Amino acid sequence: MSLLRGAFTVGGWTLVSRILGFARDMVIARAIGTGWVADAWAVAFRFPNLFRRLLGEGALNSAFVPMYAKRLEGDGKGAADRLAEEIQSVMLPILFAVSAAAMIAMPWIMVVYAPGFSSDPAKFALTVDMTKIAFPYLMFMSMVALYSGVLNTHGRFAAATAAQSLLNIGLLVAALAAQFALRPEPGDPVWGMALAYGCVVAGAMQFLYLMAMLARGGIRLRLHAPRLSADARRMFVLMVPGIIAGGVSQVSIFVSTIVASLEDGAASTLYYADRIYQFPLGIVGTAMGIVLLPTLARHLRGGREDLALYWQNRGIELAMLLTLPAAVALVVISSPISITLFEGGAFGRDSALAVGHVLVAFGVGLPAFILNKVLTPAFFAREDTATPMKFAVFTLLIDIALAVGLFFAFGVIGIAIGTAAAAWINCGLLTSALRARGLFRADARTLSRIVRIGLASLTMGAALLGLLILVDPWLDMGASRKVAALGLLCFGGLGVYVAAAFALGATSLGELKEQFARGRAKAAPDGAA
């Protein structure tokens, strides 16, 4: 499967998941707003997700996937599947023990994770109860990450990515069930408990679905008594720095949550803004990272350095083609986005504007967030997890310092500014390290295209400013007018960007068709590498 086809497959399914996620968050926002129950839910949901990304997705993307891809390329499917079985058999008891210990120690953990909640006994107690209920989600989702890594390496991106939708479906169903069965008032703690149970059920659904997808693909991972083979030990050694490097953004969220807990409503404001910017980040950044890692690993395993460099450049080019216009849009129309998606019920105009202001800062950092996901696979594919870890630790310290300092100066928007600045610093460090080692250089095509993409994005931004003047009165009207306003902004801006991109030569239909074609070239085109 080509890089573009794979990225569009992952991105398409991620888009479906994000749309369902927005539907979920719109329902939740109207049910609990940005009050104390919303703060409790934001912490309860983020805490197991933090560990899922660090222990599951981050570690497996950095350590397991390259090893599995190289084993598959060099020794065949049987040897690769035996490695996956070994990892599965060791991970399950570890995850069970971690989950059990965390649930027992949750009251003390929450004192550290959300220190500002301790002054409100009701909020603190609800947060502890909800996090206890939701935490087994970690165990299910870590195994989902393992199974997804296997499927992605075999090029079955759709099967792995489609599972994401089940989480949003599960939480949406839980919220609707609570509404119709219990009919709680807006802001009632019952909403939070229903969502916590829905989180666990959704995790189990994803686990069972991917087990079925593996079986359908002729991959049956048997469960053995835990045994650390030489390969398994190497993978777990690689996981240690990979956990930090792959999860730097999640550690940043952890720090942000601690700081935000000091201001009432700040944690939920940050959560809703994060949900919006995660939309393009998930569709583009995560998709490119998922597809690039096995692609680079298999090329490098076969000694095809030229193809690895070629696809690294094409990955950056494609990522910027989709990211720069999204970043400009988040900056220009942040408030209309948050007003349309969340305003209503317990979620007032002031809350929507606060989310919009935070979103501007995230929009400025969006290209860096995505470039980090595109550049990091170049290290992981070479089984170098230590270098990204060092950069992650350095930028994390910067993020913490900026988040704390700017929070007390500017409030919750200061946290977002610090996170965006740290992302750009990390991007610069990753690029410099790859260039210094001779592992990456942007070819002439990529540099030219980025400039053209930037100009097309700025053209779109100017058009959005004009459209915003036209539709601004609609944002004070009913829900249908708000949706119409946002639709006009989004589709109008998209139309201008596409026209400008083709006119400026940022891309072409011929190139897109060629890149989308199934299979791959035997060698990089002249001048690409």
170-228 confidence digits (pLDDT tens): 888 888 888 888 777 777 888 888 888 998 999 999 999 999 999 888 888 888 888 77
* 527 domain-assigned: no
* 522 domain-assigned: no
10-residue mean pLDDT profile of the chain (529 residues): values are: 67 80 78 79 80 64 78 80 88 88 91 83 90 89 86 81 85 85 77 88 91 89 81 78 62 71 77 82 78 80 79 86 92 88 75 87 92 88 84 87 86 88 93 90 88 94 91 82 89 93 82 57 41
Q: What is the DSSP string of 322-358?
A: HHHHHHHHHHHSHHHHHHHHH-BTTB-HHHHHHHHHH
Q: What is the count of structural domains for the chain?
A: 1
* 406 domain-assigned: yes
230: how many CB neighbours lie within 10 A of its CB?
7
503 in Cβ contact with 449 (< 8 Å): no
* 492 domain-assigned: yes
* 529 domain-assigned: no
Quote the domain boundaries for residue 187. Answer: 3-516
Q: How far is CA 290 from CA 315, 363, 479, in A?
A: 11, 22, 37
* 523 domain-assigned: no
pLDDT recorded at residue 366: 92
349-370 confidence digits (pLDDT tens): 788 888 888 899 999 999 999 9
End-to-end Cα distance, the chain:
21
121 in Cβ contact with 34 (< 8 Å): no
* 97 domain-assigned: yes
* 525 domain-assigned: no
| Separation CA 140–CA 395 (nearest Å) | 30
